[in-house]
Structures are given as structure tokens and as C-alpha cells.
Structure 1
Amino acid sequence: MEANNRWFIAVTVLLALLLAVMPLPYNWLWFRPSFTALLVIFWITRMPQSLGVGFAWMVGILEDLVTGSVLGTHALALAVLAYFSLLTYQRTRAFNPAQQLMWVFILVGINQVVGNWVHGLAGKPVPGLTFLWPAITSALLWPWMAPWLGLMAGRLQVR
């Protein structure tokens, strides 16, 4: 992987981590998109030979450290998400925007379920299905985020 690729990927990870801890009003916290999950889906779909589960694990560990979560919560959830993204990246590239939106909803939903399961093991259960709101907001953000990142990566010739 070229240095230009590493630099741009590192900047996008930093931006996603900043957005993950950006202050929001209390009533809006459940609606925060999972920016790191969207980023992992994007980069693994774009560069499956260079990035994989290890990349997702490292991003998850960084997110755990930044957000103060139980160490390994986001790492495990993003690793599972990366695994499913790697299994389906060829099909995902061929999906139309509506199919991609649904697939991102499913992937981020799996990410949220795994994260909620780990929180439950740590004694912090989430009531009801409110933990799935980030999957909806992330899926709705995907049609704008993915083309924008693709355009920026194309300008920097990130492959």
C-alpha cells in the first residue's frame, strides 16, 4: 500500500473517531450514525486485498479508547462487520444505490447487535431495540458518504 493511501485512510479514520465523540444533545445520542462502521465498509469494499479484519480490529480498538467503552467492544463488532464485508465485497460493488443502502443497514445492524451483546455481557444492557437506530441513520448517510469518499480517494489516486 502506498504512503498516499495510508495517509488518506488515517485521516478518514481520525475524522470518523472525532465524529464518534462529537457532542450531541442527549435526545439525539441514539441517532448518531456509526461513522467507523461506515468507514470500515467503505475501505474494505474499495481495497479488500490491502485491508481486512485486522484493519477493522485496530479501528475498533481506537474507537474503544476514544469513547471509553469496554476494551474490545467496538473491535469485535467491527471485526465481524469486516468479515461480512469481505465475504460480499464483489456483490456489494454491483449493487444499485437502494440495494447498497439496505446492505449497509444490515451490516451496521449486525455491528450494533454484536456491540449490544458485549455491553450486555458487561452489565450494561440497552432497553428494547433502540440500539438499532444508528443502523438506520448510517444507512441513510451511506448514499452521500460513499460517493464523497470515493471522489476524494479518486482524486488522491487511492487504490
Structure 2
Amino acid sequence: MDAHNRWFILLTFLVALLLAVMPLPANWLWFRPSFCALLVIFWTTRMPENLGVGFAWIMGLLEDLVTGSTLGAHALSLGVLAYFSLLTYRRTRAFNPGQQLMWVFVLVGINQLLGNWVHGLAGKTVPGLTFLWPALTTALLWPLVTPWLGGLASRLRIR
């Protein structure tokens, strides 16, 4: 992967980290999409030979630092997310948009479940299934973000 590709991908993750800490009204916080998870799925599906579990783990660690959450929660969950995304990227590319939306919901749901588990180990559990709302909002963003970011990456010749 050349430097041009690397800088563009890092820029997208910087935007995702900024969106992760963007202030929201208190009653909207549970609905904040997991932008880093969305990008991990997008980039590992688009460039599986260049981006892997280690890259996702580093991005998760940065998200932990930026958001002030339990250190390692996002790192573990994004690493596992990248693993499953890399495992299924060929099938995911062949899915129609509705199937991709459902698959993103499942992947981000697993991501949220692992994050909640790590937070629970640290004594910060979320009651009920409210921790799954970001999986739904992230999945709903998938059909909007994917064509836009894919088109932008194609125009910039990110491969």
C-alpha cells in the first residue's frame, strides 16, 4: 500500500474518531453510530490484503484513548470485527445492499457485545440491550456511506 492510500485511510479514521467524540444531546447518545466499526468493515472488505486485524486493533486503541472508555474495549472488539470481516469479505461483496445491511448489523452487534462485555469486566455494564442501538444506526448508515466513500476512493485511486 502506497503512502497516498495510507494517508487517505488514516484521514477517514480521523474523521470517524472526531465523530465518535462529537457532542450529542443526552437522549441521543445511545444512537450514535459506531463510525470506526463502519470504516473497519468498509476498508477490510475493500482492501483485505492491506488492512487486517492489527490495523483495526490500533484504531480501536486510539478510539479507547479518544473516547476515554475502558482501555482495550474498542481494540478487542474492532480486532474481532476485522477478523470476521476479513473472513467473509468475498461473500459480503456479492451480497445485495439489503443483505449487506443485515450483515453489517450482525458484525457491529458482535462488536458492541464484545465492547459491553469488556466494560462489564471493568464494572461499567449497560443494562438491557440498549448497547445494540449503535449496531442498528451503523447498519442504516452503511448503504449511504459505502457508495459515497467507495466512489471517493475510486476517484482518488485508492486500491
TM-score, normalised to structure 1's length?
Answer: 0.99
Report the counterpart of residue 154 of structure 2 in structure 1: 154
Q: Distance in 2 between matches of 1:112 and 1:96?
A: 24
Query: 1:90-109 alignment to 2 at 5 Å?
Result: 90-109=90-109
Identical aligned pairs, as a percentage? 79
Would you identify which runs of 4 or more consecutive aligned residues in structure 1 move more than 2 Å? none
Report the counterpart of residue 114 of structure 1 in structure 2: 114
Q: Distance in 1 between matches of 2:112 and 2:87?
A: 19
Shift of 1:13: 0.5
Deviations 1:22-46 (A, max 9, x none): 0000000000000000000000000
Report the counterpart of residue 59 of structure 1 in structure 2: 59
Query: 1:1-159 alignment to 2 at 5 Å?
Result: 1-159=1-159
Shift of 1:71: 1.0
Shift of 1:3: 1.1
Return 5+ residue gaps in structure 1 as ranges.
none
**SS in structure 1 opposite 2:23?**
coil
Number of corresponding residues: 159
Q: Distance in 2 between matches of 1:3 and 1:79?
A: 23
Equivalent AA in structure 1 for residue 32 of structure 2 = R
Deviations 1:94-144 (A, max 9, x none): 000000000000000000000000000000110100000000000000000
Equivalent AA in structure 2 for residue 99 of structure 1 = Q
TM-score, normalised to structure 2's length?
Answer: 0.99
